[in-house]
């Protein structure tokens, strides 16, 4: 059992802190956001993540999980300090390390004995060494400490499952002692431990995300070719993905990737490459294909509908993927403002991400409580997230409710034959158009 403090109680900090507590450690999750901490202390969970609420409540009740806005005190009390703050993309595409540096300074000022300082945030190569330098600089009593890189691989929407049964833990430590401490913490979750240097661990995280992003852009490029030659990309994915060397995951063509990680981590990796003088052409193309894919979907809509001014368009799905209310870099955040700018009347639906979307784009669209309400009276419907309740729509009812039966599907949710039978104009990604 270890006394662990997790600094930053977002998707990553809250989930890992809760899972460490569930494994029997004494965990304090802290954050500078007092409102978040107040809410958590009252059992209110700020994010939607299946199973998270139950696990937080269970561990708070059993006394292994605590919340605090007093970051210095939480550091003083801990043997292991996890840094899980955000590393957003700055205006040039680099990872912004402001919060990581702030936290490193606070750790230095509250170092009262040996501690293992672990970076869980996704950070560029060299950040572990930077954290080490900042702590040495600001620590008065020069207590011993070790820095570890232990990147996070959870997926939003299945974060608890991904953590409790993680496929691997990557541990880049500066000492054997620190490695052993962090390896032991992971024993309940996995036996696959990748032992690496700080720098190697840091780059593993970017390489993993960049590879997955590459698969998505690759299949989207194939989809765009399929559209030109009359092939069906879903069959191509099946045919290719059954090859065990390739695998079928992240091989679904669509509107492209969004979320808090892939766009920022591919951009950051490009900077890491540039900084060390390497021209990483492949990742540039991955980013470009992804950006174009959103535009391409809107072009399909415009080509079919004509001028958007005065047209009513329903948008189904605001979250960047299902089972999360995270809308960071989600396609909807680009597409809805564009449609509104062109004079379209946009009605948007999402089962859980409306509150977040309102905060970002306000009332550039109206929001509905269910998909049918959004669809009612619309001249076209755009599908941007593959939510289960959108997959389950009664398509005959959808057709009846629409002004014109035009669906532009960025997630390839429906069978072409069925859409043809029902008489829709159905424009999906990498499959023949039904019109």
19 in active site: no
According to DSSP, the residues that pair with 346 across neighbouring strands are 313
Q: Decide: is 317 part of the binding site for ligand NAD (CB under 6 A).
A: no
Strands (E), 55-192: 65-68, 80-83, 115-119, 145-149, 169-173
Read off the DSSP letter of residue 95.
Answer: B
- Residue 103 or 223: the one with the smaller Cβ distance to ligand NAD is 103
- Residue 157 or 430: the one with the smaller Cβ distance to ligand NAD is 157
Q: Taking the C-alpha atoms of 209, 215, 220 and 223 in order, what is their torsion angle to the nearest 10 degrees?
A: -170
**Exactly one of 19, 23, 25, 36 binds ligand NAD (CB under 6 A); which one?**
36
Q: Contact at 8 Å (CB) between 319 and 327?
A: yes
**Exactly one of 64, 122, 290, 428 binds ligand NAD (CB under 6 A); which one?**
122
Does 198 count as an annotated binding residue?
no
Q: Decide: is 33 part of the binding site for ligand NAD (CB under 6 A).
A: yes
**Exactly one of 5, 8, 75, 117 binds ligand NAD (CB under 6 A); which one?**
8
**Exactly one of 26, 31, 227, 409 binds ligand NAD (CB under 6 A); which one?**
31
Does 254 count as an annotated binding residue?
yes
C-beta of 140: minimal distance to ligand NAD in Å? 20
Does 129 count as an annotated binding residue?
no
Q: Which of 258, 407, 406 is nearest to 334 (CA)?
A: 258
Q: Contact at 8 Å (CB) between 148 and 131?
A: no
Selecting among 29, 30, 261, 381, the annotated active-site residue is: 261
Does 388 count as an annotated binding residue?
no
C-beta of 14: minimal distance to ligand NAD in Å? 7
Q: Distance (Å, rounded) from C-alpha 216 to C-alpha 64?
A: 40
Q: Decide: is 27 part of the binding site for ligand NAD (CB under 6 A).
A: no
**Exactly one of 2, 32, 271, 305 binds ligand NAD (CB under 6 A); which one?**
32
Q: Decide: is 18 part of the binding site for ligand NAD (CB under 6 A).
A: no
Does 264 count as an annotated binding residue?
yes
Strands (E), 305-344: 312-316
- Please give the residues from 252 up to 281 whose contact with ligand NAD meets the rule CB under 6 A: 260-261
With CB under 6 A, what is the number of residues at the site for ligand NAD?
Answer: 26
Q: Which helix (H) or strand (E) holds 264?
A: helix 262-275
The first and second tokens of residue 94, run together, are 């680099």
The first and second tokens of residue 153, run together, are 């691989």
* 322 Cβ contact partners less than 8 Å away, ≥ 6 residues apart: 157, 385, 386, 387, 388
**Pairing mode, strands 26-30 and 65-68:** parallel
Does 258 count as an annotated binding residue?
yes
Does 312 count as an annotated binding residue?
no
Q: Decide: is 23 part of the binding site for ligand NAD (CB under 6 A).
A: no
Q: Distance (Å, rounded) from C-alpha 157 to C-alpha 219?
A: 23
- Please give the residues from 94 up to 113 whose contact with ligand NAD meets the rule CB under 6 A: 99, 102-103
SS3 per-residue string spanning 48-90: CCCCHHHHHHHHHHCCCEEEECCHHHHHHHCCEEEECCCCCEC
Residue 58 burial (C-beta neighbours within 10 Å; 0-12, 13-18, 19+)? middle
Interhelix angle for 281-305 vs 262-275, to 10°? 140
Does 417 count as an annotated binding residue?
no
- Please give the residues from 229 up to 248 whose contact with ligand NAD meets the rule CB under 6 A: none
Q: Decide: is 86 part of the binding site for ligand NAD (CB under 6 A).
A: yes
Sign of CA dihedral 84, 89, 95, 100: negative
**Exactly one of 4, 11, 290, 294 binds ligand NAD (CB under 6 A); which one?**
11
- Residue 133 or 415: the one with the smaller Cβ distance to ligand NAD is 133
Does 36 count as an annotated binding residue?
yes
Q: Which residue is nearest to ligand NAD (CB)?
A: 10
Q: Decide: is 9 part of the binding site for ligand NAD (CB under 6 A).
A: yes
- Residue 73 or 364: the one with the smaller Cβ distance to ligand NAD is 73
Q: Distance (Å, rounded) from C-alpha 389 to C-alpha 350?
A: 10
- Please give the residues from 126 up to 185 whose contact with ligand NAD meets the rule CB under 6 A: 152, 154, 156
Sequence ranges of the binding site for NAD(+): 31, 36, 87, 122, 156, 264, 328
Give the residue numbers of the binding site for substrate.
153-156, 205, 250-254, 258, 321
Residues in the annotated binding site: 31, 36, 87, 122, 153-156, 205, 250-254, 258, 264, 321, 328
Query: What is the contact surface with ligand NAD in residues (CB under 6 A)?
Result: 7-13, 31-33, 36, 71, 84-87, 99, 102-103, 121-122, 152, 154, 156, 260-261
What amino acid positions are annotated as catalytic residues?
261
């Amino acid at each position: 059992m270890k006394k662990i403090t997790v600094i930053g109680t977002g998707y990553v900090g809250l989930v890992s802190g809760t899972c460490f507590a569930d494994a029997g450690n004494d965990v304090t999750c802290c954050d500078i956001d007092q409102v978040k901490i107040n809410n958590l202390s009252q059992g209110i969970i700020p994010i939607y993540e299946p199973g998270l609420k139950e696990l937080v409540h269970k561990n708070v009740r059993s006394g292994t999980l605590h919340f605090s806005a007093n970051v210095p005190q939480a550091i003083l009390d801990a043997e292991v300090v996890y840094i899980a703050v955000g590393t957003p993309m700055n205006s040039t595409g680099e990872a912004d390390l402001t919060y990581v540096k702030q936290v490193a300074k606070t750790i230095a000022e509250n170092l009262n004995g040996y501690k293992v300082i672990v970076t869980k945030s996704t950070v560029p190569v060299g950040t572990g060494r930077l954290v080490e330098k900042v702590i040495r600089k600001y620590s008065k009593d020069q207590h011993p400490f070790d820095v570890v890189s232990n990147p996070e691989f959870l997926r939003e929407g299945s974060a608890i499952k991904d953590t409790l049964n993680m496929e691997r833990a990557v541990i880049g430590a500066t000492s054997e002692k620190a490695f052993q401490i962090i390896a032991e913490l992971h024993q309940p979750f996995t036996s696959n431990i990748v032992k690496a240097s700080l720098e190697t661990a840091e780059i593993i995280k970017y390489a993993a995300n960049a590879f997955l992003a590459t698969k998505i852009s690759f299949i989207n490029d194939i989809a765009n070719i399929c559209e030109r030659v009359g092939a069906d990309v879903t069959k191509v994915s099946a045919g290719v993905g059954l090859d065990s060397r390739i695998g079928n995951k992240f091989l679904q063509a669509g509107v492209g990737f969004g979320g808090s990680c892939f766009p920022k981590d591919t951009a950051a990796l490009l900077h890491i490459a540039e900084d060390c003088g390497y021209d990483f052409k492949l990742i540039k193309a991955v980013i470009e294909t992804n950006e174009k894919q959103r535009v391409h979907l809107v072009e399909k809509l415009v080509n079919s509908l004509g001028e958007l001014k005065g047209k009513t368009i329903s948008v189904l799905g605001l979250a960047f993927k299902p089972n999360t209310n995270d809308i960071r870099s989600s396609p909807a955040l680009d597409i809805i403002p564009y449609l509104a700018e062109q004079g379209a009347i946009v009605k948007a639906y999402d089962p859980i991400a409306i509150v977040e979307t309102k905060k970002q784009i306000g009332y550039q669209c109206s929001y509905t409580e269910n998909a049918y309400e959004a669809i009612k009276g619309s001249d076209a419907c755009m599908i941007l997230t593959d939510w289960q309740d959108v997959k389950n729509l009664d398509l005959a009812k959808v057709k009846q409710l629409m002004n014109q039966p035009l669906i532009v599907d960025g997630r390839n949710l429906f069978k072409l034959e069925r859409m043809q039978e029902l008489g829709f104009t159905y424009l999906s990604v990498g499959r023949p158009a039904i019109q």
